[in-house]
Copies of this chain bind each other. A is one copy, B any other.
């Protein structure tokens, strides 16, 4: 729980969020092939990957000259678990809001 905000920080940048979604949807990708998904220089992608790695969101595997990146499942599960730990709050709040909308519809 204490380092979840670092995970959120890693995912707060649009480029990094796009990288992570790309890796989640298509699995492992090289640094170079990730460069294609946004109009950005190589060094910029490289640094974003370093930030994601330091936050524990992705991990690296070396394949000859290429560095292959994939999402660490634990990172996404940690976010999931945080939402679950407050699930009662948001689910009941939403249920109440829905009841209000239904009541308003009946009044009109």
Q: How would you classify the secondary structure of chain A's contact residues: helix, strand, loop or mixed?
A: helix
Interface of A toward B, CB cutoff 8 Å: 4-6, 8-9, 11-14, 17, 24-25, 71, 73-74, 76-77, 79-80, 82-84, 86-87, 89-91, 93-94, 97
Copies in the complex: 2
Contacts of A97 in B (CB 8 A): 73
Contacts of A82 in B (CB 8 A): 79
User: Does B83 contact A76, Cβ atoms closer than 8 Å?
Assistant: yes
Contacts of A12 in B (CB 8 A): 5-6, 8-9, 12
Contacts of A25 in B (CB 8 A): 86
The 4 closest A-B pairs by CB, nearest first: A9-B12, A73-B90, A80-B83, A73-B93
